[in-house]
């Protein structure tokens, strides 16, 4: 991975590659599938590309929580994953139609990748039972670009909720 280039306190990657980024929900009304082409630089993590896509198109806004393992996508385009005793839904990451073996924080796309965040449903009887891990997470809404300078009129909206789960 290449390191980002610095502009003051900001980090950026020269944008010399592109990918197709798709949100897909075919299981819960209202169903949707929408795509956006994003430019990115080598070594740029996908979570940063997601943030820029949300800045460009409100349909790509998301809510995620951050753990020691990285970002976990909870909500895309207003549709949140849920868990109950029968089914669970979540946003899964597909890269070139294959399940990714990593999450959005540690995934570094390649030029020409087709990336899909697919709303997925599993029936909990198919899941192996196990303890809920202890965790501390922080939720926030990525809504608009962070201000670049004092004269920038952009607004950054953050909603932070600390969630502790103890077993």
Q: What's the total number of domains in the chain?
A: 1
Residue whose C-alpha is closest to residue 81's, from 38, 131, 25: 25
Q: Is pLDDT of 126 > 60?
A: no
- Domain containing 105 — which CATH number? 2.170.130.30
Give me the pLDDT at residue 158, please.
34
Q: Is pLDDT of 164 > 90?
A: no
Give me the pLDDT at residue 137, please.
34
- Provide the domain limits for residue 149: 5-165
| HSE, side-chain direction, 13 A CA sphere, residue 125 | 1
Residue whose C-alpha is closest to residue 76's, from 120, 127, 106: 120
Is the separation of the CB atoms in 145 and 55 below 8 Å? Answer: yes
Condensed to tens digits (0 to 9), the pLDDT of residues 3-55 reads 666 666 666 666 789 999 999 999 989 899 999 999 998 888 999 999 999 99
Residue 119: which pLDDT band, with cuts at 50, 70 and 90? very high
Condensed to tens digits (0 to 9), the pLDDT of residues 53-90 reads 999 999 999 998 888 888 888 899 999 988 877 788 99
Looking at the DSSP bridge assignments, the partners of residue 161 are 139
Looking at the DSSP bridge assignments, the partners of residue 20 are 37, 114
Give me the pLDDT at residue 40, please.
92
Indicate the range of 22-31, 35-44, 107-116, 118-127 predicted with least confidence. 118-127
């Amino acid at each position: 991975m290449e390191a980002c280039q610095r502009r003051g306190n900001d980090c950026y990657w020269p944008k010399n590659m592109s990918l197709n980024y798709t949100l897909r929900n075919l299981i819960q009304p209202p169903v949707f599938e929408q795509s956006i082409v994003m430019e990115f630089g080598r070594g740029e993590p996908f979570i940063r590309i997601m943030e820029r896509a949300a800045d460009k198109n409100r349909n790509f806004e998301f809510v995620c929580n951050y753990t020691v393992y990285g970002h976990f996508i909870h909500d895309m385009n207003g549709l949140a994953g849920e868990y109950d005793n029968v089914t669970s839904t979540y946003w899964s990451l597909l890269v070139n139609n294959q399940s990714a073996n990593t999450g959005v924080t540690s995934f570094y796309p390649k030029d020409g990748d087709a990336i899909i965040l697919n709303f997925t449903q599993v029936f909990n009887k198919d899941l192996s039972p196990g303890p809920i891990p202890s965790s501390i997470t922080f939720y926030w809404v990525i809504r608009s670009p962070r201000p670049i300078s004092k004269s920038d009129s952009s607004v950054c909206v953050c909603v932070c909720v600390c969630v502790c789960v103890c077993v």
